[in-house]
Amino acid sequence: MTLCIGLMSGTSADGMDACLVDITPEKVTMIDALCIDYPDEVSDFFKALAVSETLSAELIMDADRLIAQYGVQAVVSLLEKNELSARDISLIGSHGHTLRHRPQPDGFSWQIGDPSWLAEYTGITCVADFRRRDIAAGGEGAPLVPAFHQVAMQAHQPCAVLNIGGIANLTLINADQDKTLGFDTGPGNALMDEYCRVMTGCSCDAGGASAARGVVITELLDEWLKHPYFAEVPPKSTGRELFNLQQLAIPAHYSPDDVLATLAELTATSIADAIKRYAPELKELYVCGGGLKNSHLMERIKAHTSGLNVQSTEAVGIHPDWMEAMAFAWLGWRTVNHLSGNLPAVTGAQGERILGGIYPGSTGNGYQK
């Protein structure tokens, strides 16, 4: 048994996901998982950082340490819950939290969440900073999870996996790894959540109830769908830098329900357009991520993809909340075993690369049961 922990703080900036998995060369088995929710003020802080044009070194270092502290809290909580100690865990694979993602040409991707702090205060070897090696090799540095999808969904190929987090990403899985395609389709939950927070003080439109009451504002939707990102061809990836409320400049006179209906339609339409363009023969679509809980959004995706069997990844034994945390545990395992973690056909890198840096665990400082 090789126990590993994956940590993920996504674009939604709502919490730190931690997943305990058992990894073998053939299989990844989830044992347990939990999320440490961020207080509203912390979530707002991370979201503001993502679009801020002026960041001081002190502010960045504070955020870097804060993400690491949440990571330590998540790891210790998971260990306590499962009556394990640091000695029982082979490694932590930590995605961190994306501060900036500006891909090729001459791009970079910056994830905060100090891995040295994680290694020191959990006592467990930490693998982190996965994206920059792929970028150095000419890739986008994202998405990286399609490599895990390829393994996790092996018995169900051909199919697609749609992860709807803050940003939505799609993996089109083919038995031939060189033909597997993955990319960010555009906004997922981020715009809807951000608008809800500004207009209502709520963290999200629970179940899509407000959007379901609204009417799509066609002129806004048509304008938003002209965003040049949607016309780009893969490899491609994006983030809050391109899709945020400041960029959309929504007129104040529209009703919140109608705006939320239109934002949901933007997500659904951009996802459906990507499927129609790159996988017109697709039959099976498995969905994971927080967007799965938005029943209105899921209804709109199904309406735009008639004939497609759309279901949760839970149908194939993978909990939809923990897919990405599982993936980064697996990517960390790949790194320490000197195995590549990227799919060049997905990221556009010049070839397969071993990703991330390894931060050895401390002696005696880790959590002991």
Check residue 363 and give its pLDDT.
Answer: 61
Residue type, 241: E
Which helix or strand (DSSP H or E) is residue 183 part of? strand 181-187
Q: What is the pLDDT of residues 320-352, one digit of tens each?
A: 999 999 999 999 999 999 999 999 999 999 999
Position 58 scores a pLDDT of 92
Confidence of residue 221 (pLDDT cuts 50, 70, 90): very high
Place of tokens 């989830």: 30
Please, which pLDDT band fits residue 73 given cuts at 50, 70 and 90?
Answer: very high
Q: Which of 300, 331, 342, 321 is nearest to 126 (CA)?
A: 331
pLDDT digits (tens, 9 = 90+) for 57-68: 999 999 999 999
Tell me, yes or no, if the pTM score tops 0.75: yes
The contacts of residue 253 (CB under 8 Å, 6+ apart) are none
Taking alpha carbons only, the member of 321, 363, 325 closest to residue 93 is: 325
* pLDDT in the model for residue 364: 58
- Here the tokens at position 21 are 């998995």
**Poorest-pLDDT segment among 56-70, 128-142, 174-188, 315-329:** 174-188
**Token pair listed for 29:** 């088995």
Note the pLDDT of residue 367.
62
Band of residue 174 on the pLDDT scale cut at 50, 70, 90: confident
Three-class DSSP category at 127: strand
The rounded mean pLDDT for the chain is: 94
Q: What is the pLDDT of residue 295?
A: 98
Which pLDDT belongs to residue 105? 79
Provide the pLDDT confidence category of residue 77 given band limits of 50, 70 and 90: very high
260 and 210 in contact (C-beta within 8 Å)? yes
Report the candidate in 45, 299, 68, 305 with the shortest Cα–Cα distance to residue 170.
305
How confident is the model over 212-237, as a mean pLDDT? 97
- Domains of the chain, CATH where assigned: 3-141+322-359 (3.30.420.40), 145-316 (3.30.420.40)
Instruction: Say whether the peptide bond before residue 234 is cis (omega within 30 degrees of 0).
Output: no
Whether residue 365 has pLDDT greater than 80: no
